[in-house]
Amino acid sequence: MSASETSLRRTPLYARHEAAGAKLVPFAGWEMPVQYPAGIRAEHLTVREAVGVFDVSHMGEIETRGPRALDFLQRILSNDVARIAVGAAQYSVLCKEDGGVLDDLFTYRLADERYLTVTNAANHDKDLAWFQRQAEGFDGVEVVDRAADYAMLAVQGPQARALVAGLAAGGAEALPRRFRVAEATVAGAPALVCGTGYTGEDGVELLLAPDDAPAVWDALVDAGAAPTGLAARDTLRLEVCFHLYGNDLMESRGPIAAGLGWCCKEETGFIGSEAVRAARDAGPSELLAPFVFTGPGIPRQGNAVVGGGEVTSGTLSPSLETGIGMAYLPVEQAVPGTEIEVDVRGKLRPAVVKEKPLFRKGT
């Protein structure tokens, strides 16, 4: 085993994945299950039709607390943090001064002066350093790294809530609505239950003490949740056009071109707001747009689009049974119904730009 392999971190559920026959791969410094023996397509369709459970314990958490926690977060997050009620969640981006995107984040307000922000795994150290640097000289706020304090399980699918309710003290009444968060006991373990996810399906995400994660995982699987790997998580999110940092979001592009202007409230004066306002006023030269192949082929990140543009995410959609993706395109091409061609390893593959999301229930 190489030194790089031995340095990979493992979640509290590593032994469960290994015992289940998961294919484990390096991901953002972690050894993570990319798929289980059932395969990506089966896992994907199970989440669309029933319920799957994902180990997303590689995600990071930052707690911000103190009498000026709101003022601080309003300064660094793009959305209007003042609108997050206690027990609610909000999506935002973290921007540099030039408007480039450092990360996209969910923030949960746990109490009047206490917030928990979930970071992408590959960005956690960078995000934490950014939070800490911006907090220097900012009285009345404390930034705490909580990544080691939580394991995170995502239970997703049309049957997810009913399954978790069956394991929760208090049943369905104990679970929060979408974009809300609540403390609950699940399978005997205290948890933060978040009404969020990354699949386009209903469900919850559970933040637990790492030592409690294996028993809760076992209870979820025993109740019928199918273990689901990161590959299906990617195909699920792409079908509904959710962004993936490092593919669709990056420091060299801003939120307006990425179609995330809706979560940017420049009037709050967040870091990067002037650059974001300028981009909004001038109009971007390119836009991130979803597309579907009209013939054979599978698009991949980095594929060029004829006439300008680049694919940022691509896959074979298990639900639509065709190649799908997202690409930054010149504005005039980023219009639903526009026909484009994607260069896939030297072969031009025809595609058509679509509206978001690419997959809708019942279609």
Q: DSSP letter string over 86-131?
A: TTBEEEEEEE-TTS-EEEEEEEEEEETTEEEEEE-GGGHHHHHHHH
Tokens of 115: 């917030």
Task: Show binding-site residues for substrate.
Answer: 205
Task: Show binding-site residues.
Answer: 205
Query: 3 pLDDT band (50/70/90 cuts)?
Result: very low
pTM as predicted: 0.96
CA pseudo-torsion sign 299, 357, 328, 35: negative
- Kind and range of the H or E run holding 133: helix 124-135
Distance of CA 228 to the CA centre of its chain: 15
Q: At what angle do helices 160-167 and 213-222 cross, to 10 degrees?
A: 120
> Going from the N-terminus, what domains does the chain have, and what CATH number goes with each?
3-57+150-238 (3.30.1360.120), 60-148 (3.30.70.1400), 285-363 (2.40.30.110)
Percent of the chain with pLDDT over 70: 98
Q: What is the pLDDT of residues 306-359, one digit of tens each?
A: 999 999 999 999 999 999 999 999 999 999 999 999 999 999 999 999 999 999
Query: 6 pLDDT band (50/70/90 cuts)?
Result: low
Q: How far apart are CA 280 and CA 261, in angstroms?
A: 8
Q: How far apart are CA 199 and CA 175, in angstroms?
A: 19
Q: Which of the two residues, 160 and 363, has the higher pLDDT score?
A: 160
| Across 162-172, average pLDDT | 98
Q: What is the pLDDT of residues 29-54, one digit of tens each?
A: 999 999 999 999 999 999 999 999 99
| Across 243-260, average pLDDT | 98
Q: What is the pLDDT of residue 2?
A: 44
Q: What is the pLDDT of residues 101-111, one digit of tens each?
A: 999 999 999 99
Q: How far apart are CA 158 and CA 94, in angstroms?
A: 31
Q: What is the pLDDT of residue 361?
A: 85
